[in-house]
Structure 1
Amino acid sequence: MGKNRKILIYSHMNRIYFIVALFFSLAVFYKATAQHKDKLTLSEAYQLAMANYPLTGQKSLLMEQTELSLSIIRNESLPALSANLEGQLQSESLQIGSDSPESPVFIDMPRESYKAYAQLDYTLYQGGLTHARREVEKANLEVGLNQLEADLRPVKDRINDLFFSIMLSRQQEQLIASSLSNIDASLQNLEAGYNNGTVLESEIIKLKVRKLELQNQQESVLADSKAAIKILGELTGLNLSPATELVLPNYNAVAEVELQRPEQQMYESKKLLLSAQEGTITALRKPRISLFAQGGVGYPNPLNFSDIGHAPYALGGIRMTWKIWDWQTTAQKTERLRVQQKRVDIQKETFEYNIETREDEFLEKMDALTRQIQNHQSIVALQGEILQQSEAQLNNGVINATDYLIQVNAELEARLRLHLYELQLQQLQVKYLTLFGTL
C-alpha cells in the first residue's frame, strides 16, 4: 500500500509539473506572437509609433509634476507652525526711576535679551491667490501636453514615408516578377527554336543577361523593402513580416479640409496660461488677512517691561496687509501679459497662414496626377498589346531578342510609371491630410 501510494503521489506531481510547464510555454509563445500583425492600417501605425516613441514618456511626468505643484499650493494654504529663537545685545536700555531709596520706582532693563517661541500663522483671505495659482498650474499642464502633441506630429511624417516606401518596393517587385515570368516563357520558346536550328544562341544569351539584370534589381528592391519593414516594426513595436498588409485610409477624393493641427491648441493654451497669470497678478493686489498666535519664553518678559526675569508669554491676533499704492506696477504687468497674448495670436496666424497657403499647391498637384494616371492607363494598355504582338513575332522568328527586350522594357516602364503615379497621388493625399491634421 505504501509503495502504491508513493507511486500515486509521484504521478500527481508529474501531472502538476507538466501543467505548470505547459502554462509557461503557452505564455512565452503568446508573448512572442501577440505582437505579430498580418494587417496594419496607417492610423494604427500612427497610434502605435507615437505610443512607442520615447518622448511620449513625458506625458506622465508632466501630469505628475502638475499634481505635485497643486499639492504644494494646497499645503501652503494650511496653517504654518514655526519655531524661532531670537537674541540681541543693545548699547542702551530702558531705565525708569533711580536706584536711590527716595525713588518709588526703579526699573533697569538688561541690555541683552532673548526669546524662544513657536508661532502659528493662518491666512484667512488672500484675494483668491491660491485659486489663481492652481489655474496657472493647470494651464501650464495644458501647454505642456499640447506642446508634446506638436512635437510628436513629425512621427506621422516618418510613418508616411515608410508606408509608401514599402508599398512602392512591393509593387516594383511584383512588376519585376511579372517581367521575369515573361522572359522565362520566351526563353523556353527560343531554346526550343535553338534546338531546332531556327534561333541563334546569341538571342538566348541576350534574354538571360536581361533576366540576371532584373533579378539583381529584384534583390535590391527586396532589400530596401525589408529594411523599411524592419524600421516600421521598430517604430510601432510590432513584429512585421514582408507579408504584412499595409492599409491606407479609404477615400476616393480629397477636397478642401479644415486645419486641425495640435499646434493650434498649443497656441490657445498659451493664451489661457497668460490669462491665468493675469489672475495671479490681480490677486496679489488685493488685501490679505491672517491670524497669528505666538507663545514661548523670553528674557526679559517681552510683554511686561517691569518683569526683568525669565518669563513665559503668549499672544495672538489678526493681521491685514494691503499694498495701497504700487506705482502702477500691477497695471504694467497686466499690460505686458496682454502684449504677450497678441504675440501668441500673431504666431498662431503665421502658422496657419504658412499651411493654408500650401492648400492650392496640393490640390493642383493632385488634379495633375489624376489626369496623368488617366492618360497613362491608356499608354499601359497599348504597350501591353504591343508586347503580346512582339512575343508572337519573336516566337515566329519575325523579330530578334533585342527588339523583344526593347518592348519588354517599354511595357515594364509603362506599368512602373503608372503605379508610381498612383502611389504618388496616394502619398500626396496622405501628406495633405496629415499636414492639415485630418490624419
Structure 2
Amino acid sequence: MKRLLFILVGLMATTLVSQNTVTLQECYELTSVNYPLAKQITLLKAQNHLEQEVVSTARLPQLSFDAQATYQSDVIEVPIPNASLDPINKDQYRATVSVNQLIYNGGATNAILEVKSSQLETKQKQVEVQLYQLKQKINQLYFSILLAQETELLLDAKQTLLNSKLNEVTSGISNGVLLPASDKVLRVELLKISQQQKGLQSNKATLVNSLSRIIGQPLDAASTFLNTLIDTEFTSQLNRPELDLFQLKKAEIESNEDLIAIQNSPKLLGFATGGYGNPGLNMLDNSFQAFYIVGVKLNWNVFDWNSNKKEREAIAIHKDILDTETEIFNLDTATKLNQQYNEIAKFEEFITSDLEIINLRKEVLKSADAQLKNGVITSSAYFTELTHLYEDEHNLIKHKIHLQLAKANYNVIKGH
C-alpha cells in the first residue's frame, strides 16, 4: 500500500512538472520516490523476508544423509574358548539417514524472528531519515533558483525602463534639448544588463540541473518555480523521523534482550535414524543389516560462565548510550530552531525597512526623471538614482527569498 502511494504521488508530481510549474512540495515528494536511496526500502524488505524464511526452517524436520566405509587395524574379539563365533570384519560399511525435529527451544525461534522484524523497521527508518535530510539541500537549491528567477524578472523590468528612457533621451538629443552623448550611458548599461541576464540564465540552468538529479525528474530551465508562501508554527514540538528511529533502535535492543534471556533455555529434539550396514547394530553379526534408532534428546547449557548475564549488561549500557544520543539530538535541534527563528525575525525586519527605502528611492527617481526631461541633470545622474532603486529592490527580493528559505528550513528542522 505504501509503495502504491509513492507511485501515485510520483505520477501526480511528474504531471505537474511536465506542465512547466514546479513547487517545493513536489520536489520533496519526487525525491522520496525517485532518489536512488529510496529503492533500499523495498530491497531491505525483500532481504529481511529471505532471512526470516531461513530462521523459520529451524521448525522444520532436519534431514541428513551419512555414508562411510572403514578398515580397522583391530576389532573386538570374544574371549570364550571354543566359541563358534566368526571374528568381526575389519572392513566395515554403513549408510544412514537421520531426521531431527525440534520440539522445544524456549521460544528462541520466535525471538529471532522478532529481532529480524525490528532490524527491518530500524533499517527502513534509517533510509527515511537520510531521505528527509535531503530536504535542506533541496531548500537551498530551490530558493537559489527562485532568487535567480526573481532577479531575472527585475532585470527585465529595468531593461524595459532603460529602453524607454533611451528613446526619450534620443528624442531629446534630436531636438537639441540634451547633449549628444547623453544616450551613451544608457546604452552601456543596457549591454551590462544583457551580460547579467546571460550570467543569471547560466547559473539558473546549473541549479536546475542539480535539483533535477536529486528529484529524479527532468526539469526545464524555462520552468516556473512557484514562490508559494510558507506557513510556520513556532512551537517546540518536534516531529522528526530521527526520533522515531531512536524509538525503533530501542525496540530492537529490547528484542535482543528477550532473545538473550532465552538463549540458555533447554532444547528438546526428537530424532530418528535408519540405516544399512555391515555390521548393523548387532556387532557380532558379520552381514549387511537394516537398522533404526528413534528417541528424544535434551540439551541444556546449565553454566555459561556468566556470559549471558554480561551480554544483558552490555545491552543495558547500549540503551543508556541511545538515551544520551536522543538527548543530544533534541538539544542540537532546539539550538538550530532558535537560530532559524532569529533568521526569520531578522529578515522580517529587513523587509520592513526595505519597503521604506524603496518608497523614498522612488520619490527621488521621480524627481530625477523630471529633471532629465528638462535637461537639468545628465543621463548619468539619472542612471545613478535608477541603480540605487534597482539595488534596493534587489535587496528586497533577496530578503524575501531568504525569509522563505529560513521558514522552510525551520519547518524541516522541526519536522513539519
* Superposed pair shares fold, TM > 0.5: yes
> Alignment partner for residue 247 of structure 1, among 213, 217, 226?
226
Could you say which residue in structure 2 is the equivalent of 1:174? 153
Structure 1 residue aligned with 2:56: 74
Structure-1 residue corresponding to 2:97: 118
Alignment of 1:31-430 (within 5 A): 36-100=18-82, 103=83, 106=85, 108-247=87-226, 250-302=229-281, 304-430=282-408
Q: What is the distance in 2 between the residues matched to 1:242 and 1:118?
A: 71
Instruction: Answer whether contact 1:300 1:308 (CA < 8 A) is retained.
Output: yes
Aligned CA-pair RMSD: 2.2
Matching residue's letter, 2:197: Q
Question: Given the superposition, is the C-alpha separation of residues 257 and 202 from structure 1 closer, same or farther in structure 2, using an over 3 Å criterion?
Answer: farther
Deviation at 1:413, TM superposition (A): 0.7
Change (3 A) 1:342 1:332: same
Q: Distance in 1 between matches of 2:201 and 2:265?
A: 72
SS at match of 2:97: strand
Q: CA 1:248/1:404 → structure 2, altered by over 3 Å: closer, same or farther? A: closer
Contact 2:139 2:408 in 1 (8 A): yes
Displacement after TM superposition at 1:437 (Å) = 2.0
Shift in Å, 1:323: 1.0
TM-score, normalised by the number of residues in structure 1? 0.86
Distance 1:383 1:249 in 2: 28
**Count of aligned residue pairs for this structure pair:** 403
The residue type paired with residue 324 of structure 1 is: V
Provide the rounded CA distance (Å) in 2 between the counterparts of 1:228 and 1:67: 41
Q: Which runs of 5+ in 1 are unaligned?
A: 1-31
Shift of 1:361: 1.9
Structure 2 match to 1:15: none
Task: Give a deviation string over 1:236-291, Cα, whole Å, max 9, x none.
Answer: 34443455333356445541342222222222222222222222222221111111
Q: Return the offset for 1:390.
A: 0.9
Contact 1:97-1:107 within 8 A present in 2 as well: no
Q: Distance in 2 between matches of 1:64 and 1:90?
A: 52
The one-letter code sitting in structure 1 at the alignment partner of 2:46 is E
Whether the 8 Å CA contact 2:230–2:408 is kept in 1: the answer is no
Distance in 2 between the 1:420 and 1:247 partners? 16
Contact kept, 8 Å, 1:98 with 1:106, in 2: the verdict is: no
AA of the residue aligned to 1:333: E
Rounded Cα–Cα distance in structure 1 between residues aligned with 2:259 and 2:74: 46
Equivalent residue of 1:121, what SS? Answer: strand
Q: Distance in 1 between matches of 2:373 and 2:29?
A: 54
Aligned twin of 1:19: none
> What is the alpha-carbon distance in structure 1 between the residues aligned to residue 216 and residue 283 of structure 2?
78
CA positional deviation for 1:119 = 0.4
Deviation at 1:73, TM superposition (A): 1.4
Secondary structure, counterpart of 2:18 in structure 1:
coil
TM-score (norm 2): 0.90
Output one character per residue of 1:28-75: Cα deviation in whole Å (capped at 9) or x when no partner: xxxx98961333221211111232211222122111101111111122
CA drift of 1:108 comes to 4.0
CA distance in 1, matches of 2:269, 2:107: 14
2:78 is paired with a residue whose SS is: strand
1:377 deviation in Å?
0.7
C-alpha change, 1:247 and 1:258, in structure 2 (3 Å) is farther
Distance of 2:15 and 2:336 partners within structure 1: 44
Cα displacement (A) at 1:223: 2.1
Post-superposition shift, 1:339?
1.4
% same residue: 26
Tell me the residue number matched to 2:11.
none
Q: CA deviation at 1:112?
A: 4.3
Choose 1 or 2 for highest CA Rg. 1
